[in-house]
Chains A and B, each alone.
Chain A
């Protein structure tokens, strides 16, 4: 299977690689006095430049020959992602990557490591664009913000952690942190000019972006024909992804409300006076880890999943896979009550739907019991064990708030794991009152 690459795309990619090559040669020049680094930059610069030449040549002579990624790469990623693990590999991989980033933050935020990572990302991005399925998704006008989001969040995560690592070392040596500074400057001219320059740059970027890329406008609205997939705006796709694991009342109402409440509550829960006004990790590891997990893994990673990897019928599609609307994914999810009454007890008598409230409670007793233990018994147990110090320092109300928020935050990964491991659909299943957890 050899899809040709449109000539305009070949020229575009040539330009992209030229920019990358320029970046690399620029750094090679910058590292004039460090031969090894200079060589590394020059080599990668030449590889980028080689890409430029190849694309320009084929575009000029015979676009039919357009370079495509070796089919084996596409095939392998498709196989690994889709047919083996799908969302499990994606999400668990993200979690592992996140843990590794925090654990080896000192090594991973080294500029050379970060830049090597950036180069690999640039290469993969360029290669991926030769795949027509990937291209059709990534170049949808409203998906452009996702690309921006991935690169900016990646950059600033590196940047913030790097500053934190440096500050932590300074603190360990009893030296003042990077932000420590008693010098004051006048707002005019120091700040107003910074603002002016930022405004000019932002305006220029926005104008160029607007002229270069047309805003999307599809067919006129009609209630008769729903597109497949129907997606919410991209910034809500993390929430839409949660619909896989929760009913709308949880994914669309309760959890978003808890996110907002939780964010507002952060300064009133975090009693740690350290780390006020400077980047640090070691002085507030719990707060930073929790927030970063929430923002990076549970928000950004899920948005990327919802935007780029969820196709028709909200099925999971690998990055280079064709979005086949007829893809069949077997759903054999079961409820906890079924698992208990059929699997453990072996008697379906109590599984009947539509009975009295009493019979519903008996039917769902395993799930209700587990939920009650999770919500009610866990906080006091944690207060006496893992979070003992927190409980003593925070007092009842703060501690209660913290644990409740953490419980809601953890409910998503817990539900995910239960779904993947035992095909669990609902822990509590009371369709009579639309109350399914």
Chain B
């Protein structure tokens, strides 16, 4: 009996994989049905539907990059402290001192690549008309995921706390103060008053909510850190589950009928 057979016949192996190796048709079906991760897939798909010339692999790549960002991000969280005192120095240490500080590069380049990949995924889905019935709703979920991906990248942009970071966030978040009605320099915000006192001012408007202050500060850093590491990823993970589930429930990968 070979070592491989010994392992495959052991109680441990059998308790994890409840069937023989996927070498015949039956077990290749069963392997997908009995594995929670593989179960994201259907058992069989149309051959042209999974061709790279059709899918460009961009949806899968986006998801994979999300996983890469999650793993590298969690590891970076062990080093990085989101305070004015430590943030910049921690990133500096990641670059110069820390073993495997290259994780930061992977995290940053992976984030850029994810933004491009998700755009290209949307581009492909549009060009193949794959948003058409019955997949309308899943396209909409995808658009929300696209927006959340941009927000993930945007909130992460602040964390190194260097000049590039705070001024990019300052420029980006300055828009919020021009929000109609709820930004203090937005159209018609001055019409909202309590008696003579303005209801919307620089200490109460949409930008203040976003930044946790009147300008990009330590409170903003904490706020963006929590959004970046906890709040948005949770929502994204949930919506990814919906997105994948609906790909299957809406008839699998699209294709010519």
Question: Hey, what's the 0/1 contact readout for A202-230 against B, CB within 8 Å counting as 1?
Answer: 11001101110111111111110111001
Residues of B close to A152: CB separation below 8 A:
116, 120
In the complex, which of the residues A163, A181, A227, A248 contacts B174, with contact meaning CB atoms closer than 8 Å? A248
Task: Evaluate contact between B140 and A187: CB separation under 8 angstroms.
Answer: no
Q: Which residue of A lies closest to B55 (CB)?
A: A194
A179–B54 Cα distance when bound, in Å, is 8
The reply to whether the CB of A434 lies closer than 8 angstroms to some CB of chain B is yes
Q: List residues of B (24-74) whose CB comes within 8 Å of A's CBs.
A: 25, 28-29, 31-32, 38, 41-50, 52-54, 56-57, 60-61, 64-65, 68
Residue of A nearest to B30 (CB): A188
Are A221 and B178 in contact, with the CB atoms below 8 A?
Answer: no
Binds B, one of A27-35, A82-90, A233-241: A233-241
The one of A191, A234, A253 in contact with B45, judged by C-beta atoms closer than 8 angstroms, is A191
A214 to B164: give the CA distance in the assembly, Å: 15
Other-chain contact of A148, B110, B113, B144, B189 (Cβ < 8 Å): B113
Evaluate contact between B180 and A185: CB separation under 8 angstroms. Answer: no
Q: What DSSP secondary structure best describes chain B's contact surface? A: helix
Contact check, B56 vs A156: say whether CB atoms are below 8 A apart. yes
A209 touches B109 (CB 8 A): yes
Q: How far is the CA of A220 from the CA of B162 in the complex (A)?
A: 4
Residue from the set B109, B172, B183, B185 with the largest chain A CB neighbour count within 10 Å = B109
Report the nearest B residue to A182, measured CB to CB. Answer: B46
Residues of chain A with a CB closer than 8 A to B161's CB: 220-221
Q: Is B129 a contact partner of A275 (Cβ separation < 8 A)?
A: yes
From residue B252, how far is it (CB to closest CB) to chain A in Å? 10
Is B168 a contact of A264 with CB atoms below 8 Å?
A: no
Checking B116, B154, B191 against A433 with a beta-carbon cut-off of 8 angstroms, the contacting residue is: B191
Q: Are B64 and A199 in contact (CB under 8 A)?
A: yes
Interface residues of A in 155-210 (CB under 8 A from B): 156, 159-160, 163-164, 176-192, 194-195, 198-199, 202-203, 206-207, 209-210
Q: List, in ascending order, chain B residues with CB within 8 A of A194's CB.
A: 50, 52, 57
Q: Is A278 positioned at the interface, with any CB of B under 8 Å from its CB?
A: yes
How many angstroms from the CA of A186 to the CA of B49 in the assembled complex? 12
| CB-nearest residue of chain B to A194 | B50
In the complex, the answer to whether A218 meets B163 with C-beta atoms within 8 Å is yes
Which of B54, B113, B140, B168 meets A232, CB within 8 Å?
Answer: B168
Question: Smallest distance from the beta carbon of A396 to chain B beta carbons, Å?
Answer: 19
Given contacts A186-B29, A187-B43, A267-B136, contact A198 B64 (CB under 8 A): yes
Tell which of B116, B124, B144, B186 touches A149, judged by Cβ atoms closer than 8 Å.
B116
Identity of the chain B residue whose Cβ is nearest the Cβ of A167 in the assembled complex: B256
| A84 CA to B45 CA, complexed, in Å | 56
Is A337 interfacial (CB-CB < 8 Å)? no
Residue from the list B29, B32, B140, B185 in contact with A264, Cβ < 8 A? B140
Asked if B162 and A278 make an inter-chain contact with CB atoms under 8 angstroms apart, the answer reads no
Is B88 an interface residue when CB atoms closer than 8 A count as contact?
A: yes
What A residues does B48 contact at CB under 8 A? Answer: 178-181, 183
A218 vs B157: C-alpha distance when bound (angstroms) = 13
Complex Cα distance A106/B43, Å? 38
B residues within 8 Å of A by Cβ?
22, 25, 28-29, 31-32, 38, 41-50, 52-54, 56-57, 60-61, 64-65, 68, 88, 91-92, 95, 102, 104-106, 108-110, 112-113, 115-116, 119-120, 122-124, 126-133, 135-136, 139-140, 143-144, 146-147, 150, 153-154, 157, 160-168, 170-172, 174-180, 183, 185-191, 215-216, 254-257
25 CB contacts below 8 A, A to B, read: A145-B113, A186-B29, A191-B50, A198-B57, A198-B61, A198-B64, A199-B64, A202-B68, A206-B109, A206-B110, A210-B105, A217-B160, A232-B168, A233-B153, A236-B154, A249-B178, A253-B176, A267-B133, A267-B139, A272-B132, A277-B130, A277-B257, A433-B188, A433-B191, A435-B188
With A210-B105, A220-B163, A434-B188 given, name 6 new contacts (CB 8 A): A188-B31, A216-B164, A233-B168, A248-B185, A276-B256, A277-B132
